[in-house]
Amino acid sequence: MTDSNSELSIIGLVMDASGAVQIVMFLLLAASFVSWSIIFTKRRLIRRTRAACDEFETNFWSGGDLNTLYRSATRIKGGSVGMASIFESGFREFNRISQQANAVEPEKVVDECRRAMRVAQMREVDRLEQSLETLSTIASTSPYVGLFGTVIGIMNSFLGLAGAQSATIAMVAPGISEALVATAMGLFAAIPALIAYNRYADKVVRLEVRYDGFMEEFSSILQRHARTQAKGAS
């Protein structure tokens, strides 16, 4: 019963708050909704990307034919992601250069393939980092927005005492309470956004390191293939 009364009193404070404080609370609720939406979406995206990378690495290092792996990557519904996308870009460039009439030095072949893979990597990292900046913005600004609402609420409380003969706690308690609710809502929006931003930013960095490692290993493989083709052509 106490919890119900407490909840009703908080709702009453929100409903009876001044217009400016209500606007602040609405903005914070909207920021919290956006934050949680990004958190759940980003969680699914990173989990799906990591699973795709694990599956691709297993297939890549199983010793299968690169052409077969390339055809499998190009047939993925919705397009390849993660390492598969980087592999697809690099191997497509390798095939394009290999089909040229004029022989190309192996080092130049690898440089062109690495450049194509770097572009694919930047695209993949950008896809993972998308909306993380919004989380950072919510985490850094929500407490200040809540503090702004707190200041307004306290100012309104003291302005209401201007014409009173005597001031009591009961007269200022509602205004101060609504002001503190604004602070609490600011923290409610900021804390999950900050935790999620730090967590997902770390996961993106880890995936980027995996991409870099794969690019170096795949570049070495392509270099060996290019040298073999160059010897065969000569």
Report domain extents, the chain.
19-72+80-233
69-92 per-position pLDDT tens digit: 888 888 887 778 899 999 999 999
In the chain, beta strands by DSSP E: none
CA-to-CA distance for 62 and 218, rounded, in angstroms?
14
155-172 per-position pLDDT tens digit: 777 676 666 556 555 666
Give exposure, 24-55, as e/b (b: 16+ Cβ within 10 Å): bbebbeebbebbeebbeebeebbeebeebbee
CB contact at 8 A, 39 and 192: yes
For 6, counting Cβ atoms within 10 Å of its Cβ (0-12 exposed, 13-18 middle, 19+ buried), the class is exposed
105-133 per-position pLDDT tens digit: 878 888 999 999 999 999 999 999 999 99
pLDDT at 154 over 90: no
Return the structure tokens found at 85: 């996308």
Closest CA to 180 of 141, 151, 156: 151
C-alpha distances in Å from residue 50, one per residue of 57, 84, 110: 11, 11, 26
60-75 per-position pLDDT tens digit: 888 778 888 888 888 8
pTM for the full predicted model: 0.80
Higher pLDDT residue, 181 or 68? 68
Within 10 angstroms of residue 120's Cβ, the number of other Cβ atoms is 23
- Which residue's entry shows tokens 């302005």? 159
pLDDT at 199 over 90: yes
Cα 126 off chain centre by? 9
pLDDT at 11 over 70: no
Closest CA to 115 of 134, 93, 88: 93
Within 10 angstroms of residue 216's Cβ, the number of other Cβ atoms is 11
203-214 per-position pLDDT tens digit: 999 999 999 999
Residue 41 pLDDT class (50, 70, 90 cuts): very high
For 213, counting Cβ atoms within 10 Å of its Cβ (0-12 exposed, 13-18 middle, 19+ buried), the class is exposed
